[in-house]
């Protein structure tokens, strides 16, 4: 058994232990405990549904709109949780960095993996609600894990990039909290793309810009494959030469962020 194999095994064990610890600490001291992994996005969905679907009458043109909205809420909650935890991961694990030597990316991956576990639980809830709401299961449901992987890769890239900067400049966390609020309204989570397209030529341009965002592309694709084929996707609204832009952005962000993180990680123990 070679040294590289031993090191890989130790890294896997460390990653597993950190994921378990992060998941336990997240709900430690809470009365409802792990139930909050499901309740948080469900409560957010309930508020949005009452305000926008019932009071403002959004989503009348979309079949199974309640599940449609729940799906978007769950995926958005995953993105925000994943990036927020990932950005702060290195700073929060500073004591561990100073004690032992190991690849620093493990800390970020373990923090984001907790969000991935919560997403898996919440997607099971989405499936149950979809079946109750009359959505017919199809083979296209098997594509959802690949779309989730794309969103996770994008979230991980942002976590690597901003997490590395956050070690030296702690304002990054606060700035990201503000940006995430603005980004929420730039993605069709509450409103639908047909509503945007109703604004004429400006609406068409706005819809195309929206769908260049990997988050919007994934959310719409998941809705298309899981809930209703009447969902407008990037492949439908973007011209051929732009259809691969969201996926290329994910690859580019993850690759550049990983390189930047690796370069900066040499000084983490000193700066944290």
Residues 111-142 pLDDT 10s: 898 888 889 888 988 888 889 888 889 999 99
pLDDT at 60 over 80: no
For 67, the token pair is 């599940």
Region at 136 (left for phi over 0; alpha for psi -120 to 50; beta for the rest) = beta
What's the N-to-C CA distance of the chain in angstroms? 35
Query: What confidence score (pLDDT) does residue 6 get?
Result: 44
Could you give the CA distance from residue 163 to residue 264 in angstroms, rounded to a whole number? 10
- Mean pLDDT for the chain? 83
pLDDT of residue 1: 42
| Whether residue 33 has pLDDT greater than 60 | no
Number of other CB atoms surrounding residue 13 within 10 Å = 10
pLDDT confidence of 89, banded at 50, 70, 90?
A: confident
**Separation of alpha carbons 33 and 28, rounded Å:** 7
pLDDT score for 225: 94
Kindly tell me the sign of the dihedral angle through the C-alpha atoms of 160, 165, 166, 168. positive
Read off the pTM. Answer: 0.88
The percent helix, strand, coil of the chain (3-state, each to 5) is 80, 0, 20
Task: Measure CA 153 to chain center.
Answer: 9
pLDDT of 15 strictly over 90: no
What length is written for the chain?
272
User: CA-CA distance, 36 to 63, in Å (whole number)?
Assistant: 28
Number of H helices, E strands in the chain: 13, 0
Most confident of 144-158, 199-213, 256-270: 144-158
Six-digit token pair at 88?
Answer: 């702060």
Confidence (pLDDT) at 78: 93
What six digits make up the tokens of 150? 């794309």
The H or E element containing residue 207 is helix 201-211
Q: Are 217 and 51 in contact (CB under 8 A)?
A: no
pLDDT number for residue 265: 83
């Amino acid at each position: 058994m070679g040294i590289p194999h031993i090191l890989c095994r130790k890294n896997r064990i460390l990653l597993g232990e950190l994921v378990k610890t992060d998941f336990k600490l997240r709900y430690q001291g809470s009365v409802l405990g792990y139930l909050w992994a499901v309740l948080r996005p469900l409560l957010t969905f309930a508020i949005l549904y009452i305000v926008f679907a019932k009071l403002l009458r959004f989503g009348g043109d979309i079949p199974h709109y309640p599940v449609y909205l729940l799906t978007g809420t769950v995926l958005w909650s995953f993105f925000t949780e994943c990036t927020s935890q990932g950005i702060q991961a290195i700073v929060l694990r500073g004591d561990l960095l100073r004690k032992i030597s190991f690849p620093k990316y493990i800390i970020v991956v373990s923090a984001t993996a907790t969000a991935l576990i919560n997403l898996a639980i919440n997607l099971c809830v989405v499936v149950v609600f979809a079946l109750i709401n009359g959505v017919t299961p199809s083979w296209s449901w098997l594509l959802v894990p690949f779309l989730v992987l794309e969103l996770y890769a994008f979230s991980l890239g942002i976590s690597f990039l901003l997490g590395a900067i956050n070690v030296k400049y702690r304002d990054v966390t606060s700035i990201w909290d503000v940006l995430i609020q603005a980004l929420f309204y730039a993605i069709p989570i509450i409103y639908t793309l047909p509503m945007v397209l109703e604004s004429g030529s400006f609406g068409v341009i706005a819809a195309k810009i929206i769908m260049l965002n990997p988050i919007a592309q994934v959310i719409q694709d998941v809705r298309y494959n899981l809930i209703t084929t009447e969902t407008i996707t990037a492949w439908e609204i973007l011209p051929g030469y732009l259809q691969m832009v969201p996926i290329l952005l994910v690859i580019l962000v993850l690759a550049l962020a990983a390189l930047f993180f690796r370069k900066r990680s040499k000084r983490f123990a000193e700066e944290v």
